[in-house]
Every structure is written in C-alpha cells, then in structure tokens.
Chains A and B, each alone.
Chain A
Amino acid sequence: MGKTKIESILAILLVPFMMLFAGMGTTASADDNSLQKIKEAGVLTVATSPDYPPFEFRATINGKSEDVGMDIEVAKQIAKDLGVKLKIMNMDFGSTLVAVQTGKVDMAITGVNPTDERRQSVDFSDIYYNGGQSFLIQKKDLKKYKSAKALHGAKIGTQTGSLQQTLSKKYFSDSTLSSMEKTPNLVFSLKSGKLDAVGVETPVAATYVENNKDLAMINAGYTLDKNETGAAVAFAKGSDSLAAAVNKSIAKIQKQHLTDDYLKTAAKYMKGNTKDTSMMHYWKYFYNGFLNTTLIAVVAVVFGILLGILLVLMKLSAWKLLSWPATAYIEIVRGTPMMVQVLLVYFGLGAIVNLPALLAGIIAVALNSAAYVAEIIRGGINSLDKGQKEAAQSIGLNKVDTMRFVVLPQAFKNIWPSLGNEFISVVKESSIVSIIGVSDLIYQLNVVRADTYRAVAPIVVVMVIYFLMTFTLTRLLNHFERKMNHD
C-alpha cells in the first residue's frame, strides 16, 4: 500500500545500533512471550501515522481530537479480542516500523504493505485489507484519460518511496514520473495542472474524489500479487504468539466483511472533517501544536544554555580528559543532521529507558542546541579583550572566579545577538521532532492537511504562527539587549 518512505533506511541505520545497546534482535523467537506480555500489561500499544485517510487520520469527537479510520477500527477489534486496552501512539510513518523493531510498541498498523524487503526486519500478520491501485485525475480530463493506458507519456506523481512509485516506474517508464513526500502535495500539484495523474490506493482515491468535486479516479490496471499489496499488521520478529492471535481477529474481520463497515465509519468521520474545512474550525489543532512547539523551544533553550556553558568550560579546559570529549561532542552534533539525532534519542536512548516522544524530542533539540550555544559562547570568550583576563589575574582572581565575574558576563553580553539567532532557529528547527510523532506545529499541519484536503491554507496558518512566535521572540531579545546596554 501507499506508505513506505524512509523506514527501511532508518532500520538499516538504527536497528543494528540499538541491538548493540539493548541486546534485542531477530532471534527473540526462542523465547516468544509477545502475547503473554501484552496480556499481563493489559494494554496493546500500537503505532500509527494518522495522516492517511481513510486508513488513519484525526477527527474531532466531542471536542477531542482522536485517531480514527479503518486501521484504528482493526486495532480496536484486535484489542477487544485480546481482552486488553488499546493505546495508540502517533508518529511519522517512517518511524512506525522502527518502533516495532525496538519494542517501543507491540505492533504497527498504518496501512503497511508486507513487502519482502520489510519482511526482513519485521513480521507481518495476514492481509486484512486489499483495496487495489488507482489514479486520481482531474474530472475535466476524464475523456482524455478514459483508462490508465492513456496515461502513457503523461505526467504521473506518486508518494516518495511508495509502492505506487515502484509500480509507476515499472509500468509507465515512458511517462514523466515525479514523487513527493506527502499525498496532499501531490493532489495539489494535480489540481494546479503540474501533474496529470497521481497514483494512490483505491480507498484513498475514493475519499479524495468524494471530497473534491474537481477530481475523478480511474483503475490503475496493474496485475498484482495480493500478498504484496494488501495492508497487514507489523510485529517485531519472532512474535509468533501475538501474530497468531492477531490473525484470528483478522480472519473474523475478513469473514464478516467488517472492513466495509470500518470504511463507512471512516467516511462518516471524513465528512465531519470536511464539512467545515475553515482553518478556524481547526484552531485547536494549531493551538496544541503551538503549545508543544513553545514547550519544546523553551525547555530546549534553557537546558541548551546550561549544557552549552558546561561544554565550553570543558572544551577550554587544559585537561584533555575534559576538553576532548567536549570537542568531539560539538563536532559530532554540528556535523550530523538534527533529524538523525532526534531519531537516535527516541529509538536509541529509548531502547534503554522508555522515553515519551515529547520528552525525547525536547532532549534531542536541547542536546543539539547545546553544541551550537557552546560554540557561540566560545566565540564570545575569545573575542574578549585579553586585558580583562590579565586584570583579573593581577588582582589575584583564580580561574573560576575570572570566568564567573569577568569573562562570562561580558561574553554573554557580546554574543547576545548570535544567541538570539540560535533561539530563533531552535523554534523553527524543533519542527523536525514531528517525525517521531511529537504533535508540534508541523505535525498538526500535516494532520489538518490530511483531514481537510486543503493543501495551502494550513501551511499559511502555520507560517503565520511561526512568524508571530519568532517575531515576538526577536522583540523580547531586543528588549533585553537594550536593557543590558543601559548598565
């Protein structure tokens, strides 16, 4: 099915690393207590990425934002059959399978199709749904593209790394192919004429058509192995007892054709979502995103500064045992993408202690910021007139006092503007934590876009919110700067 993206890369990067830490691996089957563990805990923890209606998305129920969709109904059924409570953890699609492998969750149910490639890292249940493949086109092009055959030579878009991308490469090598990360972006390109067709799963296409009067869908006409294209539940390797129990539930779902009901329920929620797609209607999503982004930024900045000071003192120390690790830390953090660091903290550190996504996000951003803060402070210290240190020495101050009373206060004043820039970039770059499911502004942006089928308006709203945040912060920093210059 549709969603794949980067998780195989993540698995390659992260899983061996974590196995080193946690001693977890693919050989757990010798001691399979997967089902027993869930029953003892009384909770089934499930990872999902709710930006993919009708499989999973968010809807407001009685004023509360909840995960809904076909997959969520399947998960509910499984939990019910197991006699345990259901706990859903949201994260980026790319992270769900890693969460399964590292034991952060018991299973992932997020429209995953069980390809051979994925089977190497996780186990899958039986297929619970197979919707087939379609193309979304503009309604006015229906005559031009009566069937998928007519799309040869046309401009076709698919989700990056998805099955649709693989299929389009195989079947439409003579067409102009392009891909994007998010389905709403593809649909927007279709509507604005940049693409002629977008390859998606049939139920996804159906919901888009239902909610967009300009769109139509045609069958993709692929001949496909059912096992390769259906949706299945993912478990950690060797979770045989859990898999058996889940397959029982799936057999029931298949027999009673429950997925049809699930899709109807999903459609109902979709209707509720698209009934009022004004951005005001979704204010609460944005508000929650704003709160989380603020929380992450504030906590990360405070700890970033404290840790940054510690790092710079270590780095400037004459003692190599202190200076070397600090230098190494700063170089590594500055030399690697924040995204990788966020993933490493959530899954790597998370394999040792169970960290909630929000906390992991805050830690990662703070650890990242500390390295930059340390370098900024070091610059401030180095730029200080040598005479200041000499004067401190001439009245007999020791090194610690010289730092505390003479060097650092002045360094901070000098570096205030660059430090301010760092704060602002923390606000903006904290957006990366959305990949582990922290519901910050960017995460909420994707949820709202998926729910409303509106491509641009949510982006504008989020942009305005970010701008107001950074603008306020800039004013605040300027205020403090003026205050410092007065004395």
Chain B
Amino acid sequence: MTKAAIELKDITKEFNGNQVLKGINGEIDEGQVLAIIGPSGSGKSTLLRAVNQLAAPSSGSVIFEGQDLTKAKKQSLNHLGEKIGMVFQSFNLFPNHTVIENVTLGPRRVKKLSDEQANQEAMHYLKQVGMAEKAEAYPDSLSGGQKQRVAIARALAMQPKVLFFDEPTSALDPENVGEVLKVIQQLASEKMTMVIVTHEMHFAKQVADKIWFMADGQIVEENDAEGLFSHPKEEKTKHFIEQVLMD
C-alpha cells in the first residue's frame, strides 16, 4: 500500500457565490505521479491552488505531514513553500533576476544558504533541466520551454516533498512541449511526488500512476492510466476521452 503524502478532505471553494469545487476527497501518494485531467473550468487549477494555499479553500482540510494546512498560521505557511513546490502555466519567472538568481533566491532568503552553496546547488538543478549554459541570461531572452525548465529548477532548488504542475505546457509553442515533458518524466523516474494538471493526454497516460478525471468541481472518476483511458466507467469520462483523443 502506498502512503499518502497529502490527504484532501471535503474541499470546497467558492468564488462570488459560484461553487467551483464541490467537495473533493482524495489522496496524493508518496513517490507517485497524480495527473488531473478534465475539461476547462472543471476546477483542476483551483484545486491545486486550494491545496497549496495560494487560494485557500472555503471549507475542508488538507492534511500534509500530520498538519491541517487550512488551519495553519501564516508563519508556517511560508515554510510550506519549501515543501510543496509549484510550477505555473505562465512560468512566473522573476524577469528582474537572471536565471541563476531566480533559482538561488529561495535557497538564499528562505533556507539561508550561503551565496556559494546556493549557486552550487542551483547549477546542479540547472544541469538537471539542461539550462546550465543560460545561468547568466535574463528570462526575457529565453524560449517558453527554456523558461519552464528554469521554473522547474527553481522549484526543485527548494527541495520540495511534493511538486505541483499547473498546466506546465499549455503556454508553450508545440515544438517546446517535448523538452519540458522530458524533464518531468525524468523526475517521475526518480520517484518525485508530483501532481500534474494537464491537457497532454498521451503524456498523462505515459507518466501518471493515478489519474483523476474532474468535471464541474468534482472528481468524476479515479483510476490508473490504463483503466481510465481504456475502460472509462462514467459517461462523462467516456465522452471527454473520445473528444480529446480525436484531436
């Protein structure tokens, strides 16, 4: 049996009276990859943000390392940043810092590493994502795929327990998608605990240990990749898979 890294209990989220998440229950297993798929507006990204407290849920609890994050104080939430990493759809690199500064900022300011050590570790992660040569470049000079790889290195540099990806390839030109997926795949093979919200069905099928299909703020169906894609149980799932696999 796998151990749960994060447990979600009855998570709801409301925006201006709109219920975007309608009670999400589930487990994110340690050392495994969870992919969340589903139509636009189904609440996938909202769920990620609710879990890592970028946009705290309206109700429910998120149990991480024996602690309910929704009840944690601001102070300890800052430390959460160290333990749950986040890779955004639009990269969100700091344009006023060089690539390596983007990666070292967290370790230097939060983990209080010396400049030397932070640089050393940053170079390690930049090598891992294949961006070591661009260490001194500014983000504006990079392609989307390169930016996203730097963003992954930035998240890794905090040595998180769990890494969240919020549609990491949606903002990329098609020719750049592969390089980013390759990096994520590499991480998966190293048994990094990851949650990936994605529209790349083939990739999800390939890399995910478990898939959640979400629609209308609920998890409609949960299964392993093979099961979900080949033998979907729910009508909604079938319909969605037929549609996306036709493209």
Which positions in A face B, CB cutoff 8 Å? 385, 387-388, 390-398, 401, 405-406, 409-410, 413, 487
- The CA-CA distance from A406 to B154 in the complex, in Å, is 14
- Contact indicator A388/B92 (Cβ below 8 Å): yes
Contacting residues, chain A, for B52 (C-beta < 8 A): 394
- Contact indicator B109/A405 (Cβ below 8 Å): yes
- Contact indicator A394/B85 (Cβ below 8 Å): yes
- Contact indicator B54/A396 (Cβ below 8 Å): no
- Contact indicator B138/A487 (Cβ below 8 Å): yes
Contacting residues, chain A, for B110 (C-beta < 8 A): 395-398, 401
Q: How large is the interface on B (under 10, 10 to 19, 20 to 34, 35 or more residues)?
A: 20 to 34
B135 at the interface (CB under 8 A from A): no
Given A390-B54, A413-B96: A397 touches B90 (CB 8 Å cut-off): no
Using an 8 Å CB-CB cutoff, how does the interface string of B207-240 with A read, 1 for contact, 0 for none?
A: 0000000000000000000000000000000000
B67 to chain A, nearest CB (A): 16
- Contact indicator A406/B94 (Cβ below 8 Å): yes
- The CA-CA distance from A122 to B138 in the complex, in Å, is 67
Given A394-B81, A394-B155, A395-B110: A410 touches B105 (CB 8 Å cut-off): no
- Contact indicator B78/A398 (Cβ below 8 Å): yes
B80 at the interface (CB under 8 A from A): yes
Q: Which residue of A lies closest to B105 (CB)?
A: A405
Using an 8 Å CB-CB cutoff, how does the interface string of B93-127 with A read, 1 for contact, 0 for none?
A: 11111000000011001100000000000000000
- Contact indicator A410/B82 (Cβ below 8 Å): no
- The 3 A-B residue pairs whose C-beta atoms are closest, nearest first, are A396-B81, A395-B106, A391-B92
18 A–B contact pairs at CB < 8 A? A385-B92, A387-B92, A391-B88, A393-B54, A394-B52, A394-B84, A394-B155, A395-B81, A395-B85, A395-B110, A395-B155, A395-B157, A396-B81, A396-B106, A398-B78, A401-B109, A405-B105, A410-B95
Given A387-B88, A387-B90, A405-B109: A393 touches B95 (CB 8 Å cut-off): no
User: A385-B90, A394-B52, A410-B95 are known contacts; what are 17 more A-B pairs with Cβ within 8 Å?
Assistant: A385-B92, A391-B92, A391-B93, A392-B94, A393-B81, A394-B88, A395-B81, A395-B105, A395-B154, A396-B80, A396-B106, A396-B110, A397-B106, A398-B78, A406-B94, A410-B94, A410-B96
Contacting residues, chain B, for A396 (C-beta < 8 A): 78-82, 106, 110, 158
Q: Which residue of A lies closest to B96 (CB)?
A: A409
Q: Which residue of A lies closest to B86 (CB)?
A: A394
A377 to chain B, nearest CB (A): 15
Using an 8 Å CB-CB cutoff, how does the interface string of B132-176 with A read, 1 for contact, 0 for none?
A: 000000100000000000010011011000000000000000000
- The CA-CA distance from A413 to B96 in the complex, in Å, is 9
- The CA-CA distance from A405 to B95 in the complex, in Å, is 11
- The CA-CA distance from A396 to B92 in the complex, in Å, is 15
Contacting residues, chain A, for B155 (C-beta < 8 A): 394-395
